[in-house]
A and B are shown apart, each in its own frame.
Chain A
Amino acid sequence: MEIIPQLIVNSIIAGAIYMMIALGFNLIFSTVKFFDLGFGALAAVGGYTTFYFSNRLGWNIFVAVALGVLVAGLIGFLINKFVYTRLSKNKASSMVMLVASLGVLTAVQAVIAMLFTSQFQVLSSVLSATKVYNIYTAAITEIQLIILASGLIIAAGLALLLKWTKFGRAVRAIGDDREVSEIVGIDTRKVIGRIFFIGSAIAGLAGVLFGLDTGIEPTMGLSLLLKGVIASIIGGVGNVWGGVAGAFILGFVENFGIWKISGEWKDAIAFGVLIVFLLFRPNGLFRK
């Protein structure tokens, strides 16, 4: 029973990471309406850019993190510009888009592995897991606290952006009906380009934070993405706030699931949850 506080802490940390991925993924999905699997690779891009600047070049970690987030956002923006925008101009079906994004994911992961090897690497820094705080019988590291704080800031910031700004209204309008938004004069291309930048930057941040907590490898993006997608489906795809709830549900199910069985089953548990949801609540917990 002593382990329960630790399990709760672990679940919340995992939930915060998944939440960031789910938020970015849902943000993109809500405007372009296809499953952007290439999104996962951007988490790895963020992690590795930070790794390059802080470990290889020895720059200040905060600068390196900022660069990681920026580069991830930029690459996401460019991928949209050169791949997805052209595809959607040809009226490609969402399955074509999905296969193309699968190609993007595979290619970007391979490039990262070529540049940095496919080995698991430690994204060590001054923020490493040295400082540990205790809450009851649970331990939480400094970086995990930063993960939590970043998750909350991102969620709150996104909420404000979507709710109160003109840009946010445009995003919501495109989500409702892209053609009508175009007719009423919204520059949908520009808005979607920015959405890709923001969403990808969030993925980059999640990748960096995940990397600081556990380490980085080129395939980290795929597993993070899949967790984000599962969280989104639990909460209802395209429903930004449903994704937040879904992420924490997934975090708890995963971490409590491995309480009794060994940790390697985490992914299988996550997908078990996905399939149960797809079967019984295909529109997620919160129907739109």
Chain B
Amino acid sequence: MEYLIHLAILVGIYAMLGISLNLVVGFTGLLSITQAAFYGIGGYATAILLTGLGMNFFLSVIAGIVITVILSLIIGFVLSRFRGDFFALGSFGFNIIIYSVLLNWQSLTRGPLGIPGIPRPSLFGYVFSENLSFLVLVIVFAALTYLLAHFVTRSSFGRVLKAIREDEEAAAVFGYNTLVYKLTIFVISAAIASVAGSLFASYITFIDPSTFVLNESIFILSIIILGGLSSLRGSVLGAIILILLPEILRFVGFPSDIAAQMRQFVYGLLLVILMMYRPQGLVGEYKL
């Protein structure tokens, strides 16, 4: 049972990450491979504020969002000058830069040692120490994320995003300031990833930079490509499949190092096969 709750919590966190990335990749057509960076910023904001200053978890979530919003505004502004492949490469770069900051700013992040002993969230004296109560918290956050994304994508704002995806010049000709739209959705997406990072840090109670490497961004990308671009349900579905699928490998009884690599192999192969036979994913509405 504990094990199932653990998996459900992970699914919830990755569904949030998937939805956040889908807003940028699926709905706006910008191939961003830097989501793990914002995930990491949120995680570290919570870890540092909780262990260092003893701040409340929910305040640290807000602090993480503020930091992420500022950074993603800058990053998004730089990236907004690129299209297509170059956007992807540039976003790659930011993932690696932020990873190196987490790794090398040792006075703040303790570098490769990571930050242990992150407390679980507490609200009005109630501590979410049980995994079951934490799961409820994750579900609340994931549901809020889903509703927010649903609202954003169904609004007139979301329709402009799709217009930008299909033909940015045409959208600009119709008088939409596409830069503002692209930046706004990029920042919203980053903020959601940051919240997911806060939840992850507080759940695992330990973080180190290796969680937020480029491979993690690729993993999140596989979630939404498998589930389907431009589909919120698809992101949730992708997270469920990609979190649960590798668990089967665990039961087959491979050593943990091999199992971890096999997971990477499955993700990689999945990307190739999907691109070849079903580039829109399981329930997606948009092809890259």
Nearest-neighbor residue (CB-CB) of B254 within chain A: A114
Q: For residue B275, which residues in chain A have a CB less than 8 angstroms away from its CB? A: 87, 92, 96-97, 99-100, 103
Contacts of A113 on B, CB cut-off 8 Å? 261, 264
Q: Mark B66-81 against chain A: 1 for CB-CB distance below 8 A, else 0.
A: 0000000000001001
- Asked whether B86 is an interface residue with its Cβ less than 8 Å from the other chain, the reply is yes
The reply to whether B257 and A271 form a contact with Cβ atoms under 8 Å apart is: no
Q: A107 to B218, alpha carbons, bound, how many Å?
A: 12
Known: A110-B261, A282-B86. A103 touches B271 (CB 8 A): yes
Tell whether, in the assembled complex, residue A275 and residue B78 are in contact, meaning their CB atoms are under 8 Å apart: yes
Smallest beta-carbon distance A242→chain B, Å = 16
Chain A minimum-CB-distance residue to B279:
A96
Chain B CB within 10 A, most for which of A34, A35, A117:
A35
State A108–B279 Cα separation when bound (angstroms). Answer: 21
Q: Which of B89-97, B132-140, B170-178 contacts A (4 or more CB under 8 A)?
A: B89-97
| Residues of the A chain whose Cβ atoms lie less than 8 Å from the Cβ of B250 | none
The verdict on A149 contacting chain B, using a C-beta distance below 8 Å, is no
- Bound together, the chains give a CA A193 to CA B82 distance in angstroms of 30
- CB of A94 within 8 A of CB of B265, answer no
Does B104 lie at the interface of the complex (its beta carbon under 8 Å from any beta carbon of A)?
A: yes
Is B262 within 8 A of A110, CB to CB?
Answer: yes
- Expressed in whole angstroms, the Cα–Cα distance for A84 and B31 within the complex equals 19
Q: Are B218 and A102 in contact (CB under 8 A)?
A: yes
For A176, list chain B residues within 8 Å (CB): none
Q: Evaluate contact between B221 and A99: CB separation under 8 angstroms.
A: yes
* Contact bitstring B82-114, A, C-beta under 8 A = 1, else 0: 101110111011101100110110000000000
* Known contacts A93-B288, A222-B214, A279-B81; A100 and B258 CB within 8 A of each other: no
By the criterion CB–CB under 8 Å, are A267 and B271 in contact?
Answer: no
Taking CB atoms and an 8 Å cut-off, the chain A residues in 260-282 that contact chain B are: 262, 264-265, 267-268, 271-272, 274-275, 278-279, 282
Docked pose: A271 CA to B93 CA in angstroms: 5
Complex-state Cα separation, A264 to B101, whole angstroms: 10
Partner of A96, one of B100, B222, B288: B288
Residues of B within 8 A of A222 (CB): 214
- Considering residues B82, B89, B103, which has the most beta carbons from chain A within 10 angstroms of its beta carbon? B89
Greatest chain B CB density within 10 A among A102, A110, A262, A272 is at: A102
Query: For chain A residues 234-288, which have a beta carbon within 8 Å of chain B?
Result: 262, 264-265, 267-268, 271-272, 274-275, 278-279, 282
Closest to A272 in B: B97
Docked-complex contact B257 and A105, CB < 8 angstroms: no
A106 touching B218, Cβ below 8 Å: yes
- Whether A95 pairs with B85 at a CB distance below 8 angstroms is yes
Q: Which single member of A34, A96, A226, A233 contacts B287 (CB below 8 Å)? A: A96
- What is the bound-complex CA distance between A139 and B94, given in angstroms? 34
> Of B84, B96, B276, which one neighbours A226 at CB under 8 angstroms?
B96
Contact A271 B85 (CB under 8 A): no
Number of A residues contacting the other chain (C-beta, 8 Å)? 45
Q: How far does the alpha carbon of A34 sit from the alpha carbon of B275 in the complex, in Å?
A: 14
Distance between Cα atoms of A274 and B261 in the complex (Å): 30
A111 surroundings in chain B (CB, below 8 A)? 261, 265
A83 at the interface (CB under 8 A from B): yes
- Chain B: how many interface residues by the 8 Å CB criterion? 44
Please give, as numbers and ranges, the residues of chain A lying within 8 Å of B257 by CB-CB distance: 117-118
* Nearest CB of chain B from residue A128's CB, rounded to whole Å: 28
Flag whether B270 is at the interface (Cβ < 8 A): yes
Contact B93 A275 (CB under 8 A): yes
Contacts of B215 in A (CB 8 A): 106
Contact indicator A265/B271 (Cβ below 8 Å) = no
Complex CA–CA separation, A278 to B89 (angstroms) = 10
Q: Are A103 and B78 in contact (CB under 8 A)?
A: no
Give every chain A residue within 8 A of B258 (Cβ-Cβ): 114
Whether A110 and B264, one on each chain, are in contact in the complex, defined by CB atoms closer than 8 angstroms, is yes
Task: Write the nearest CB–CB distance from A20 to chain B, whole angstroms.
Answer: 20
> Inside 8 A of A226's CB, which chain B residues have their CB?
92, 96
Q: Assess A268 versus B101: contact at CB under 8 Å? Given A114-B262, A282-B86.
A: yes
A86 within 8 A of B: yes
Report the minimal beta-carbon distance from A265 to chain B, rounded to whole angstroms.
6
Do A109 and B97 touch across chains, with their CB atoms under 8 A apart? no
* Cα A96 to Cα B275 with chains together (Å): 6
Instruction: Name A274's contact: one of B90, B218, B263, B276 (CB within 8 Å).
Output: B90
8 A-B pairs closest in CB distance: A103-B271, A107-B268, A106-B268, A110-B265, A110-B264, A271-B93, A100-B275, A103-B272
Extra contacts, 8 of them, besides A106-B265, A111-B261, A114-B262 (Cβ < 8 A), are A34-B85, A95-B288, A100-B272, A106-B267, A107-B272, A113-B261, A226-B92, A264-B100
Chain A residues engaging chain B, CB cutoff 8 angstroms: 34-35, 83, 86-87, 90, 92-100, 102-111, 113-114, 117-118, 222, 226, 229, 233, 262, 264-265, 267-268, 271-272, 274-275, 278-279, 282
